């Protein structure tokens, strides 16, 4: 399958794995981008996500996201621990270790794939954009002895992240605050590594999101985005199919997501923002055991009790898990990794 996306179809760092599906289809040009979660036209070049109810009011969306994570994070932590992202699994092989180990492996695989150095060139300042309760941030700080700043929309998460970090003795190096990824409280050119693990799907304006990631990256610094995308569109298509859009709509309502974009769209944005060494890959094959495992874990008595206690938003999120499985199985949902480097001289 030929890639229409120069720079995207580079080999995975581990050649013994099955070749991942490479981005071979295009999505729409951004100038005529229709956001597919609801099939409505977007505002074109701004690439602002639109839902079936019209463009989301960012403040409302952000309040919903904050409420969702405020109420669900402790249930998740009780059952799954400090990482709120997919695990990385060997396709077709039995699970090595536990699911938490698979989540840590996801971080390590992403770092290796993006070529983040572990020697003197290692990142010294890192930002974790959409940090959850700080699992990635602490891992990255320990691995690289780095200073890490994390931002989340959820006050409960920021507080919990700071508490765990202090208990772990990392309080001098790692800290968290409530802030919007689209308006980050950091100066320009600050971070050697800009890390976003499964937060991009929440961003209502992907261009602004990418612009902010690039702005805070130091010259020569690397962006690493791991995110949910919809499939790329074929050359004949101008939007997703109706039933695909309906499925994404249900997921959007449950998880406070605006409309989705494809990995190809991210690559186009990265190139538009003049990033170098831009690459993207589909890792859906490596995450397929994740959602069935989350469903199984939700059925234990402790988790069920936690779900009931935490309220409707969390319960609705639990019901939507089967939609994720359906989306992956049909090829509609893609688990994407995207990276690029900010040029040294801009």
Ligand X SMILES: C[S@@+](CC[C@H](N)C(=O)[O-])C[C@H]1O[C@@H](n2cnc3c(N)ncnc32)[C@H](O)[C@@H]1O
In angstroms, give the least distance from the CB of 5 to ligand X.
Answer: 26
Q: Is residue 182 close enough to count as binding ligand X by CB under 6 A?
A: yes
Q: Is residue 181 close enough to count as binding ligand X by CB under 6 A?
A: yes
In angstroms, give the least distance from the CB of 79 to ligand X.
Answer: 14
Q: Is residue 123 close enough to count as binding ligand X by CB under 6 A?
A: no
Cβ-contact 322, 295 below 8 angstroms: yes
**d(C-alpha 19, C-alpha 285), whole Å:** 10
Q: In the complex with ligand X, which residue's Cβ is closer, 182 or 315? A: 182
Q: Is residue 200 close enough to count as binding ligand X by CB under 6 A?
A: no
How many other CB atoms are there within 10 angstroms of residue 14's CB atom? Answer: 9
Residue written as token pair 């089967």: 322
Choices 43-51, 128-136, 312-320, 327-335 (CB under 6 A): range interacting with ligand X: 128-136
**HEC string for 315-337:** HHHHHCHHHHHHHHHHCCEEEEE
Q: Is residue 207 close enough to count as binding ligand X by CB under 6 A?
A: no
| 3-class secondary structure, 22 | coil
Q: In the complex with ligand X, which residue's Cβ is closer, 133 or 332? A: 133
Q: Is residue 157 close enough to count as binding ligand X by CB under 6 A?
A: yes
With CB under 6 A as the rule, give the number of residues binding ligand X.
24
CA 171 from centroid of its chain's CA atoms: 25
Contacts of 100 (CB under 8 A, 6+ apart): 80, 81, 83, 87
Q: Is residue 140 close enough to count as binding ligand X by CB under 6 A?
A: no
Q: Is residue 151 close enough to count as binding ligand X by CB under 6 A?
A: yes
- DSSP H/E element including 336: strand 333-341
Between vectors from CA 195 to CA 189 and to CA 201, what angle results, nearest 5°? 115
Residue from 56, 64, 123, 135 in contact with ligand X (CB under 6 A): 135
Under the rule (CB under 6 A), what is the footprint of ligand X?
62, 65, 69, 83-85, 130-132, 135-136, 151-154, 157, 180-182, 197-199, 202-203
């Amino acid at each position: 399958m030929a890639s229409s996306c120069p720079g995207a179809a580079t080999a995975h760092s581990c050649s013994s794995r099955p070749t991942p599906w490479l981005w071979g289809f295009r999505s729409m040009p951004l100038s005529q981008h229709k956001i597919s979660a609801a099939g409505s036209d977007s505002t074109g070049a701004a690439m602002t996500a639109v839902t079936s109810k019209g463009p989301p009011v960012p403040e409302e969306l952000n309040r919903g996201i904050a409420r969702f994570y405020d109420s669900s994070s402790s249930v998740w932590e009780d059952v799954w621990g400090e990482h709120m992202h997919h695990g990385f699994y060997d396709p077709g092989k039995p699970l090595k270790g536990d699911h938490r180990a698979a989540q840590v492996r996801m971080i390590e695989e992403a770092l290796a794939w993006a070529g983040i150095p572990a020697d003197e060139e290692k990142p010294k300042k890192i930002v974790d954009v959409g940090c959850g309760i700080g699992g990635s941030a602490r891992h990255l700080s320990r691995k690289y002895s780095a200073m890490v700043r994390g931002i989340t929309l959820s006050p409960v998460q920021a507080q919990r992240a700071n508490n765990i970090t202090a208990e772990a003795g990392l309080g001098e190096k790692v800290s968290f605050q409530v802030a919007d990824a689209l308006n980050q409280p950091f100066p320009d050119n600050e971070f050697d590594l800009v890390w976003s693990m499964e937060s991009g799907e929440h961003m209502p304006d992907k261009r602004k999101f990418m612009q902010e990631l690039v702005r805070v990256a130091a010259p020569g610094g690397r962006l690493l985005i791991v995110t949910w995308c919809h499939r790329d569109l074929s050359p004949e298509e101008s939007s997703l199919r109706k039933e695909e859009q309906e499925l994404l709509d249900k997921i959007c309502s449950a998880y406070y997501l605006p409309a989705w974009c494809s990995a190809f769209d991210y690559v186009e944005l990265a190139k538009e923002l003049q990033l170098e060494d831009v690459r993207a890959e589909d890792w859906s094959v490596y995450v397929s055991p994740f959602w069935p495992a989350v469903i199984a874990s939700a059925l234990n008595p402790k988790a069920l009790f936690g779900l009931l206690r935490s309220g409707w938003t969390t319960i609705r999120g639990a019901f939507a898990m089967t939609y994720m499985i359906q989306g992956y199985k049909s090829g509609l949902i893609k688990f994407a990794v995207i990276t690029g480097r900010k040029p040294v001289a801009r």
